[in-house]
Structure formats: C-alpha cells, structure tokens
Structure 1
Amino acid sequence: MKRLLICSALTAALAGCSMIPAYQRPALPVADSWPTGEAYETVPAQSGAAPLAWQSFFRDPQLRELIEVALENNRDLRVAVLNVAATSELYRIQRADGLPSLSANGSGSRTHTPAGLNGNTQSGINSQYSATLGVAWEIDLFGRVGSLQQQALEEYLATEAAQRGVQVSLIASVANSYLRWQANQALLQTTQDTLQTYEDSLRLTQRSFDVGIASTLELTQARTAVETARSSLAAYKRLVAQDRNALALLVGQRVSILPSAKIELGTDLLAELPVGLASDVLLQRPDIVQAEYALRGASANIGAARAAFFPSISLTANAGSASNQLSDLFQSGSEYWNFSPSISLPIFSAGRLQANLNYAELIRDVRVAEYEKSIQMAFSEVADGLAARGTYRDQVAAQQRLLSASEDYFQIAERRYRSGVDSYLILLDAQRQLFTARQQLINDRLNQLTSEVDLFRALGGSWGTQTNR
C-alpha cells in the first residue's frame, strides 16, 4: 500500500499539463470615452472614483427601506442566490473527479457445488470472505479533468455575477417603481386640486347662467371641464393602485408605507453620479463579468476537447484481507492486494473527437461575440443615460418657467372673465393649460429621476477600482 501511495505521488507530480488556450480579453468594441455633443454635459475626467453604494445613491429613507425589504424577500433574487449555491455544488462534484477516490469494501459468499461439478461423488460448499480498501484515480497527464474543473469554476463565477446583476436590476426596478408611484400620487393630487377649481368655476357659471349673464355654451364648457377632470381622477386612482401592486410584487410583501402628504419629486432624492470615467468602467458591470466568465469557460472546454485526443491513464488498487473462513479473515497470512493500472488510447471514433473540438471552438467564438455585444449594449445604455442627464435638466427648468407663466395666464384670464372683458373660452383655455403644465412638470421630473436610476444601473451599480480578474 505504501508503494502505491508513493507511485501515486510521483505521478501527480508529472500531472498538470493544460491544453486550455491562453486567454486574452477581447479588445473593447467601443470608444474609450463617452459621446460628446449638444445633448451631453461637459464633465471633467475622473480617475479612481470610489464605488457608490446604493444606500448612498438613494437618499429617500422610505425608498431605502423598500429596497432592503426587496433584497430579503424578492423571489427572483432568491432564485438567483439558489442558482449560485447549486452551481457551487456542481463545481465541487467536478473538482472531486481530479482527486483519488477511496472506498472500503467487504464481501462474503458461500457456494454449494453439486458432486458432478466437483469431479467426485460428493458435493461441496466453498466459502470466500474479503475486506479491502480500494483506490481509483485517473491521472490527468493531459489536463482533461483539470479543464473540466476550470470550466465548472468559470460557470460558478458566471452564475455568481448573474446573481449580482439580478440584485442591481432589482434595486433599480424598486426605485423606478417607487418613483412612478410617487409621481402618480402627485398627479392624483394635482388632478384633485384642478377638479376643485373646475367645480368652483362651474358653480359660478351656473349662478351667472341662472341670472342670464352666462350663455348655455359657457355652462356646457364648464361642465365638460369638470367631467374631463373627473375622468382623469379615476385614471390616476387606478394607476396609483397598480403602482402599489407592482411595488408589492418587487418587494415580496405588502407595502405598508404611505406616501408623504406633500409629494416633491426633487433631484435631491438621488446623489450625484460620477460620470467622468473612461468607458472601461463597463468591465465591472455584472452582465459583462458574467459574459467574460462564460467566455473563459468556453476556452476551458476547448482544453478538455483537445485532451480527449490523448491517452487516458487510470490507476486502480485494492489491498486488504481475504479468507475462506470468516473467523480467519484478519489472521496473519490473509493479506490480499491488487494493482491494475490501465491506459486507453482513442484510435477510431468516426470523427467524434474532432467534431467535439470544432464545436467547442465555435462555442468559444459565440461567447466572444456575446461578450462584445454585452459591452456595446452597456455603452449604449450609458450613452443614453448621459444624453438624458444633459437634457432633462434644461427641460425641467423650461417646464417650470412654463408652469409659472401658465399660472399668471390663468390669474389674468380669470380676472378678465369675471370683469366681463373676455369670454369663458379664454378662461377655460387658461385652466387647461395650467393643468397640462402641472402634469407635464411632474412627468418631466419623473423621467429625469428614472433616467438617473437607469444610469446607475447601466454603470453596474458601482464603479471604481477594477475587480474583474
């Protein structure tokens, strides 16, 4: 048995040859810097920016609370975590194939043989008992087992990166759903205020009609405005309820928090993102990390396919005790051992091995294309986010000025109508313009905030020192 262990150790020293192609990360199929132009802000270049955790990026306490609950209860994230654990076990299974397997075996048999088979006139009973310790090991001289282990490791790491991607997407989805809920709450509140204004105007118009001052047309127009606002009010009530249901699905439980009495979708809800970074920051995005691990795994599979062309060497040994009497099984002189090395060399496989190698190389090329496509998509998403950042601020500022002008227009139109200078049609137009301006400002602010959240997600949720190996 000692000789067997010594021979195994010497063979292990010879093992370790790998036929996995030398890995080189593909060049970035995008520009080194982000797009520039009228739609983009001019920001100074930054280097070594510290990663920005989501707790620091989202400043709203209620939103942070919802995200924390979602990270604990969301079922999609739970599935992703379980997938990581399952892939880890698969890697452990594959890793075990590279180590010797030990087994303890015990057996016994008693056989009755008829007299005719014994060659005499008497029958006989033969007994045989054994207790052995066996060792089996495939010597990985050409790296087939090691390549499969590397592939399993890369698959595990890819699944782990996928789990981080699900987490980042979940955080962004909860934030955007929360912001939409808040925006629709604000629109509902604005619609209620506008409906109150329309109803007040209808009452005044009704009194004017009753005394013969207002016309039937003006009264009808006032009623039309009221019913239009009531229709919008019902629509926003529905959207608020649906937003709450969508948020509950993401969070994984009933949403117990309530929106604040006065909702303000200000930019102070989010922290400032450092965007003056080189485009290679994308290499830290979980989906790109996942794609690169998949590419590494495909390269490892090529090594296993190459090694299949070479001999496979296995060592099998058993040592123990054997006797024809159970009472003598462990007595002196009953020692038993068996050493049976084997070698298998493929000679003819009808092209199967070559086809397997060709397939592995094609899959590697597919993974390269997928890796490059993921980088291009990430670059496009960040570029869109930067364009949104560079334009939404101007758009929101212009909409605020439009809202202020619409408020002045409404006040002037109301005074002129009450004094008999202008018709009710002008007042109604001023009311509708004011309502539309308020709605558009809320929507513009929502779009501005969600674009920042999308940019946070496009950057991978954090950035800074490169961690991808």
Structure 2
Amino acid sequence: MMRVFIFCLTGLLSACSLTPEMTKPALPVPATFPPIASDTGTMSPPTAELGWRTMFRDERLQQLIELGLANNRDLRIAILHVKAVKAQYHIQRSAQVPHLNVTMSASRQRNLTSDDQGTQSSEIQQQSNLNLGFSAFEIDLFGRTRSMSDAAFARYLASDYGQKAAQIALISAIADAYFSERLTTAQLRLTEKTLTDWQASLDLTQKLRMGNQASALDVAQAESQVAGAQANRAAKIRALAQARNALRLLVGSRLPNDLPAPRPLTDQEMMTRLPAGLPADLLLYRPDILQAEQNLIAANEDIGAARAAYFPRLSLTSAMGYASSSIRHLVRSGATMWSLSPQIELPIFQGGRLDAALKLAKVRQSSAIAQYEKTIQTAFKEVADGLSGSETYQQQIAAQMNVIAAEQRRTHLSKLRYQSGVERHLTLLDAQRQLYAAKQTWLELKQQELSNAVFLYKALGGGLVESSGARE
C-alpha cells in the first residue's frame, strides 16, 4: 500500500516543467543554392541516398574504405564516445525512479549501569535488521531530473550523429587520399617517361656535338633539362611514398597484398555532378547539423534544470522489513517494521550560485544557437563550392586538353625545324618543357575534379549508406 501511494504521488507531482519551449532559428542562408548553367531543374534522388559503393566504382578503393571503417582509430574513438555518452544517459535516467536496496545489519554492544548504592552491572544488547526500501528519492516537482535526463538523451543523440559525421568524413578522406596517391603515381610515370625521352634527346645532342652539328651550349641546355627531370622524379617518388603513408594512416592497418589492381586516375568511373536539392534538405541528411541541433536541445533542457533549482526539492526515504534483538527470530511474526521519511529542501541563500548557474545555461544555449547557425552556413558554403567546382572543372579540363594538343604540335614542329637547322635548340627544349608542364597540369586537374566530387558528396550528406536506396 505504501509503494502504491509513493508511485501515485510521484506521478502527480512530476507533471511540472520549467524548460523553455524549443524554437529553432530560421535558416541563416539563402533559400536556394547559386544557380549553375547545367541545372535542368529535374528532380533527382538526394545525394545522401547514393551509396558509397555506387559513388566509388574502383574495387580497390571500395576495399580500402571497408578496411578503414573497420580499423580507423578516429572512427573507433567516435564509436566508443557514443557508448560512453549512452551509459551517461542511462545513469542520469535512473535518477527518475526509486533505487530499491536490501540492507541487513547487526549490532552488539555492552552497557554499564549503576544502582543507587553504586553497584555496577553490565548488560549486552544486540539488534538485527533486515530492510527493503529506498533512500533520498527525489520527487520531480518541477521537472529538474527530467530535464537533466532529457538533456543527457539529446547529448547521446548528438554523439551518435557525431559518429555518423565521422564516418562520412572518413570515407571522403580515404577517397581523397586514394586519388592523391593515384595522382602521384601518374605524375611519376609521366616524369619517368619524359626523363627517358629527354635522355634520348641529350644522347642525340651529344652525338651531333661530336659531329660538329650542335654547339656546347646545346649540350649544356639538354643536360640541364635532364637534371631537372631527375630532380622532379625524386620529388614524385617522395610524394608517392607520403601519399601512401597518409592512405595507410586513414585505413588504420597494413594494406593487404591481394587488393584489386587500381584504376588509373584518368579512368575513374565516378559521378562528378550530383543533385544538390535545396538548403533545407541539408537539415535532414547532414549528421553534423543534426548533431548541432541535438546539442541545442540539450542546452535548452539545461535551462529548465537550472530554473527548477530555485524551487523546493522533495525527497523520500522509505524502508520496510524486520527488526529483532536476535537474528534467529528476525523474521518472526511481530518483528515487522516500516518507516517513511519525507524531506523538503528549500534554497534560501546560495551566494549567487543559482543565478550564476542559470546565466551559464542561457549563455550555453546562445552558444549552441550560434554553433547551429554556423554549421548550417558552413554546409551551405561547402555545397555551393562543390557545385561551382563540378560546373567549371570539366570546362577547364577540356581547355587544358587543347593546350596539350597545341603543345604537342609545337614540340613536333620545333623538333623538325631544329633537325633541319632552322630553329635553335633552346626553342625545342622550351617546347618540351611546356608540354611536360601541360600534361602535369592536366593530371592535377583530373585529381581536383575527383576530389571536388568527393567533397560535394560529403557536403550533401553522402557516405553514410553502403548501397543506394538503404538508409542506415
């Protein structure tokens, strides 16, 4: 009967809450993304629904992403953080229900007594107790413990979204590092091929010098060009080693020897134009925005808990069980006992602590609002940058291919004119260097185009699902 009374009283008194109404701020960004010339206005599935296996077709890259999801330490830390915050939430939630405990105690003491004549006598007393009850259970009169529990739950959700954001960031980082490794590999091969061609040109120039058909200046210029190519090759070898080290760090383990053969940088089948939708769509798919929203909810609940601290706290301590002077007769009839001890605590003077706590909660809520708005603005900027990149990289690459074609014609004509004695050797060397630089620039643009697509994929919330059409 006593327990029924307690739970009914708890339900009646726990209906009050001082948490302010949660109102999210309006979007601090334009209603639409900047228009691009290729925008046809057709409806497409959200990019966030595009699985990373569909986005990245290179089988080697797919296996590297699998390894990274299983072994990356940053992602592992994020997952463990979620588990820790979840445990903290369960601890806080447990404060809303009484904690029943069984206690058993026994005491034995000797007392000395004196009569009127001064004669002393001793008496041994003993007491045994067996109780079931709870102590200092707070009845949530003004929603303090409920607000604290709701805040803990919101922080748990925020940590979960943070872990999802970490997964998206990891997948995009592995893809970007992989394309950087493919770039340095292609550049190294181009440098080695160019070095071979320039070495052959140097050998020819030296032979012409021996036949008095070329000057010593021509030989020196050719030697300088070959030495420059050798220096570039050493730099590309170093860059390739560093790119592979960065990839291993992201994957979090040694790269297996049985990985599929990589596709060349210029043969990557990947979507470089992605549907962006509207800025409001980011609120549904960007885990970092959802994380900021949950942090805002938690800060709002903290205000309710800080407000409730101004009001009285009612707590109950209750026990029922047995008490006897002998443990052998502890559970006999007539040895039962019970106790109910309500306690009310009213703060009167706290030295400004409660005011400071409420001000702190409000400041943290304002900070959470600012962080929420900043996260949305950052997301809008990232998507806008990615869209502008997807619009212009193809045009730039096409123009760079025209540059390569023109430099190839120039090099061919300069070689013919030099062999016929019409053109100076320096003109041929300059044409060869310009052609080499144009090809290097073309490779860099291809890598930048792929990296921009990865960046846009991440900015639109992609990378959370493995297969298209399945949300985790």
Say what the alpha-carbon RMSD is for the aligned residues. 2.1
Letter in 1 for 2:423: D
CA drift at 1:117: 9.6
Mapping 1:71-90, distance limit 5 Å = 71-90=69-88
**Native 8 Å contact 1:247 1:255 kept in 2:** no
1:17 and 2:46 matched: no
Structure 2: distance between partners of 1:149 and 1:61: 46
What's the counterpart of residue 7 of structure 1? Answer: 6
CA drift at 1:435: 0.5
Mapping 1:138-153, distance limit 5 Å = 138-153=138-153
Letter in 1 for 2:378: M
What's the counterpart of residue 362 of structure 1? Answer: 363
Letter in 2 for 1:317: S
Letter in 2 for 1:6: F
What's the counterpart of residue 62 of structure 1? Answer: 60
Structure 2: distance between partners of 1:132 and 1:260: 71
What's the counterpart of residue 187 of structure 1? Answer: 187
**Native 8 Å contact 1:273 1:456 kept in 2:** no
CA drift at 1:262: 7.5
Cα 1:84–1:23 change in 2 (3 A) is same
1:287 and 2:285 matched: no
Cα 1:231–1:69 change in 2 (3 A) is same
Letter in 2 for 1:34: F
What's the counterpart of residue 380 of structure 1? Answer: 381
Cα 1:261–1:142 change in 2 (3 A) is closer
What's the counterpart of residue 41 of structure 2? Answer: 44
CA drift at 1:356: 1.3
**Native 8 Å contact 2:106 2:128 kept in 1:** yes
CA drift at 1:53: 1.6
Mapping 1:198-237, distance limit 5 Å = 198-237=198-237
- Per-residue CA distance 1:367-406 (angstroms, 9 max, x = gap): 1011111111111111111111111111000001111111
CA drift at 1:410: 1.3
CA drift at 1:255: 2.2
Task: Indicate the larger mover: 247-256 or 79-88.
Answer: 247-256
What's the counterpart of residue 238 of structure 1? Answer: 238
Corresponding residue SS for 1:125: strand
Unmatched tracts of structure 2, length 5 or more = none
1:265 and 2:263 matched: no
**Native 8 Å contact 1:45 1:277 kept in 2:** no
Corresponding residue SS for 1:36: coil
What's the counterpart of residue 31 of structure 2? Answer: 32
Unmatched tracts of structure 1, length 5 or more = none
CA drift at 1:264: 3.6
Cα 1:110–1:372 change in 2 (3 A) is same
CA drift at 1:163: 0.7
1:126 and 2:109 matched: no
- Per-residue CA distance 1:19-62 (angstroms, 9 max, x = gap): 1111112100000101136xx64341536537112121111111
Structure 2: distance between partners of 1:179 and 1:458: 18
TM-score normalised to the size of structure 2?
A: 0.93
**Native 8 Å contact 1:44 1:276 kept in 2:** no
CA drift at 1:281: 1.9
Structure 1: distance between partners of 2:419 and 2:16: 94
Mapping 1:100-179, distance limit 5 Å = 100-116=98-114, 121-136=120-135, 137-179=137-179
**Native 8 Å contact 2:151 2:298 kept in 1:** yes
Letter in 2 for 1:437: A
Cα 1:428–1:274 change in 2 (3 A) is closer
Corresponding residue SS for 2:121: coil
Structure 1: distance between partners of 2:55 and 2:400: 26
- Per-residue CA distance 1:419-463 (angstroms, 9 max, x = gap): 222121121111111101110100011111111111111112269
% same residue: 40
Corresponding residue SS for 2:96: coil
**Native 8 Å contact 2:103 2:131 kept in 1:** yes
How many residues are treated as equivalent by the alignment?
Answer: 462
Structure 2: distance between partners of 1:117 and 1:343: 44
Mapping 1:329-408, distance limit 5 Å = 329-408=330-409
CA drift at 1:256: 3.5
Cα 1:64–1:163 change in 2 (3 A) is same
**Native 8 Å contact 1:46 1:276 kept in 2:** no
Letter in 1 for 2:190: T
Mapping 1:288-327, distance limit 5 Å = 288-327=289-328
Structure 2: distance between partners of 1:188 and 1:329: 88
Letter in 2 for 1:16: A
Corresponding residue SS for 1:274: coil
Cα 1:396–1:384 change in 2 (3 A) is same
**Native 8 Å contact 2:46 2:275 kept in 1:** no
- Per-residue CA distance 1:281-339 (angstroms, 9 max, x = gap): 22121111111111000000001011111111111111100011111111111011111
Structure 2: distance between partners of 1:375 and 1:87: 24
Letter in 2 for 1:83: H
Structure 2: distance between partners of 1:117 and 1:215: 135
CA drift at 1:416: 1.8
**Native 8 Å contact 2:191 2:232 kept in 1:** yes
Cα 1:111–1:457 change in 2 (3 A) is same
CA drift at 1:85: 0.3
- Per-residue CA distance 1:153-211 (angstroms, 9 max, x = gap): 01111111111111111111100100000001000000011001101101111110001
Letter in 1 for 2:409: D
Structure 1: distance between partners of 2:240 and 2:216: 36
Letter in 2 for 1:454: F
Structure 1: distance between partners of 2:463 and 2:422: 60
Cα 1:47–1:397 change in 2 (3 A) is closer
Cα 1:265–1:120 change in 2 (3 A) is farther
Letter in 1 for 2:141: L
